[in-house]
Structure formats: structure tokens, C-alpha cells
Amino acid sequence: MRTAEHFASKSSKSSNSSPSMLGHLRSSLRHASVRALRIAGELRAARKSVAASGDRVVLTFHRIVPDKEIALCRSPRGMVLRESIFAQVIEYLKFSTSIEAPERVEWPHYRTGRPQVILTFDDGWIDNLDIALPYLTSAGIRACFFMTTGFAGQAEPFWPERLRGIFDSLRSANMLPLLQEEMHELESRSDIPSPAMNGSTKFEEILTWLKQFPTDTISQWLDSLQNHLSPIVPNLPAGTIFDPRERLMDWDELQQLAAAGHTIGSHTRSHALLTQLDPHAVREELLVSREHLSEHLHPSNEAPIWLSYPNGDASHAIAASALRTGYSRAFLNSPGLWRKRTSQMLIPRVNVWDGTVTDRSGDFSPEHLEYSLFWKTARTHTKYK
């Protein structure tokens, strides 16, 4: 078995964007914690403990972006993993864990003496096919790809990338305070004040604030924002960058994944946050997406279909609705171990992006990966039981 120490010399150099002061503090504390745990032997102990328990760790990926295109990517930082880092994550998993194919998951199961992991990908980005698939194929790994079925083949499918284009255009034109003015109308519907717009404002601050609103409300607000600002701000709405991979796979491309042995699951119809919808709308999101998958990929309608909740947001009522709609398992986006006693409709996952698997220099760090996958998950109790 290859451990963290084996991979320490195989890192590739790359720079990260400068974090905010609070983010920098959290990052520094995390790096210090990982180092202390490694020296104390706690990371290795956590890996062995998870392996012995028979519990599973489910990994979540979103976008896998070529290193040379990273500056073009408008997706939120917490969704993005550089191709070079992804390659090293896959190498680590191949030699240090037991990777289960989704269709073979069952309880009880055979224990291999290594931590057991399952790989999942959310949204359905084309880079999952173009960039990630060759690495999975080479390593003999089968994964589950959760597709936002109503947006199949669509470019610029989600509002965060659109917001990023507007944000970057305003910032490059030194007009960011205009965004504050446009946020007043939304702010009147919220108990949470909007972030102040100045030169140090981070895109992620606005993104987090906006997520409290329904998707339709955000989209309408962005339409209004674009109409108001386009006459005076250059390069709206796309901004000054263009991401050639900012689209979702179409059904023919999803068929390629399925033909390669991978599982295609649902990420709902439109990626609406289900906790913001009424029960009828929740059922519609789940049912229509399942029908899309049945029509295009599972014509017999007999294959068990997995579900990933958008943003990881769910409740017991939503989980029950998913079960009634015909889903066999459903996944959150909060860390934890998939134990035998875990609800099959509220399964935790570990989000993997550059910030969780790299050291201070931006190099791949097996210790940071082990911290996220084994040490942290074993100590995390999800809010759902």
C-alpha cells in the first residue's frame, strides 16, 4: 500500500489565488493541524481505523479543469480541481484504497484491509467526460455521475458562473459598488445583510449570500442586473474570460459514460435547492429527472437510480419523497462516513477540490487528502440520522 509519504515527492507546483483574511486564517490552521496530525501518526491511524471499520467514504468531484485553462474557469473555487491534482488523487486512491463500483455496493461486504471509497461527480460537466474519464479508465475505476437532467447539453447552465462574469466585469471596470446598489431589492427580502462591495470583496462572499434565495429569484435578479448595467459596463454578461468547457454533457455523451461502465444518477431536473421548494415542486424535480434518465438511459425503468441533492441540501421529508419517487440511494454534500446504519437516502460525502488536497504551495498533499477522507470524516456527525 502506498501511503502519504510515498506521494510526497510527486507533487506539481502551481499557485493559488490569495484568500481573504478569514480564509487565510482557516487555511493556516488547517495546514498546521495536518502537519501536527501527521507527525503524531494520527493520519495513518485514522486511515487504518476507517479500513478496519468497513465504513465507506464517498468522494464528490465537480469540475476537473486542465491546468492551463484554470484562469478561464468561472465556477466557484470549491467546485474546481486541477487536472494535474486530480491525476495524483486518482493515483493515491488506486494504490491506497479499495475503490468500489457503484453497482456493486451492498451490505455486508468484503473487507480488503484498505479504506473503501466510492467516487461521484456532480452536475454533469463536459470536463468529466473529456478530462476525468481517461484517468478513471486507465485506473480501472467506475464512478457515479449525477446529472442535472433538464440542462443536458446546455452551456452556462447555472447562475454562479453567470454571476462570476458580471462580478469580474464590474471589478475590472472599477464599478463594483454598482453591484451593491442592485442588491438592495434582494436585501429587503432577507434578514442577512449583503456583503459590502469594495476592492477586497470576494466573489464567494456574494455567492454564499445569494444562496439563501430561490433559484428563480436569483435568475430573475441577474436578468434585471444585466439589463441595468449592460449600457454602462463593458463585457457584460460574460466578463473578460471564456471557459470552453462551461457546459453540461448531452445525452449522447452520457451514453458514452454509461457504455464505459459508469453509473448515471440524478442531480434533479434543474438544480433547484430542494429545501426551498414546496412538497409538490420537490416531487416534480425528482420525478421529471428520473423520467429523463429512464427515457434516455434506462428504458426498462428497472435499474436502481441514485440521487445527489443539489448543494447537498435535504431533509427527512425530502428524503422520503425521493424514496417514494423511486430512488434507491441519495447523497448529501457534507462529510462523514457511510456506515451500515446510515440512512440510504441521507448518505454523507466528502467534497474534493484544490483547497482540500493541496499544501501551502499548491502542490498535491496526500496528508491533506487523508485528513479530509479519514481523520475528519470519522469525527463528523451529520445532522441527519
Mark whether 146 and 189 lie in a shared domain: no
* pLDDT in the model for residue 18: 38
* pLDDT in the model for residue 377: 93
Q: Taking a C-beta distance cutoff of 8 angstroms, is the pair 57, 373 a contact?
A: yes
* pLDDT in the model for residue 194: 85
* 108 or 239, higher pLDDT: 108
Q: Among residues 382, 371, 378, which one has the least CA distance to residue 343?
A: 382
At 2, is the pLDDT very low, low, confident or very high (cuts 50, 70, 90)? low
Can you tell me the distance from the alpha carbon of 273 to that of 332, in angstroms, rounded to the nearest whole number?
A: 12
Whether residue 115 lies inside any domain: the answer is yes
* pLDDT in the model for residue 290: 95
Can you tell me the distance from the alpha carbon of 197 to that of 293, in angstroms, rounded to the nearest whole number?
A: 42
Give the mean pLDDT of 339-343. Answer: 93
Grouping H, G, I as helix, E, B as strand and the rest as coil, residue 123 is: strand
pLDDT over threshold 70, residue 302 = no
Mark whether 369 and 295 lie in a shared domain: yes
Mean pLDDT lowest among 27-36, 179-188, 287-296, 308-317: 179-188
Q: How many domains does the chain have?
A: 2
Whether residue 235 lies inside any domain: the answer is no
Length of the chain: 385
pLDDT over threshold 80, residue 113 = yes
pLDDT over threshold 70, residue 62 = yes
* pLDDT in the model for residue 107: 67
Q: Specify the residue for cell string 464599478.
A: 175
For the chain, the first-to-last Cα distance in angstroms comes to 33
Residue-wise DSSP of 227-289: HHHTTTSTTTTTTT---TT-BB--HHHHHHHHHTT-EEEE--SS---GGGS-HHHHHHHHHHH
Give the mean pLDDT of 82-100. Answer: 98
pLDDT, one tens digit per residue, over 43-60 is 999 999 999 999 999 999
* 20 or 231, higher pLDDT: 231
Mean pLDDT lowest among 30-39, 100-109, 246-255: 100-109
Whether residue 239 lies inside any domain: the answer is no
* pLDDT in the model for residue 141: 98
Mark whether 101 and 163 lie in a shared domain: no
Average pLDDT, the chain: 89
Could you give the residue ranges of the DSSP H alpha helices within 2-154? 4-7, 21-39, 42-53, 83-96, 126-127, 133-139
* 168 or 99, higher pLDDT: 99
Mark whether 53 and 196 lie in a shared domain: no
pLDDT over threshold 70, residue 22 = no
Can you tell me the distance from the alpha carbon of 251 to that of 161, in angstroms, rounded to the nearest whole number?
A: 22
Last residue of a domain, one of 198, 229, 260: 229
| DSSP symbol at 270 | S
pLDDT, one tens digit per residue, over 234-283 is 777 655 557 889 999 999 999 999 999 999 999 999 999 999 999 999 99
**The three three-digit cell numbers of residue 163, written as one number:** 454571476
Can you tell me the distance from the alpha carbon of 38 to that of 367, in angstroms, rounded to the nearest whole number?
A: 7
Mark whether 24 and 135 lie in a shared domain: yes
Report the Cα 156 to chain-centroid distance in Å: 17
Mark whether 252 and 346 lie in a shared domain: yes
pLDDT, one tens digit per residue, over 138-165 is 999 999 999 999 999 999 899 999 999 8
pLDDT, one tens digit per residue, over 178-192 is 888 888 878 887 777
Mark whether 191 and 315 lie in a shared domain: no
Mark whether 282 and 362 lie in a shared domain: yes
User: CB 192: neighbour CB atoms within 10 A?
Assistant: 9
At 14, is the pLDDT very low, low, confident or very high (cuts 50, 70, 90)? very low
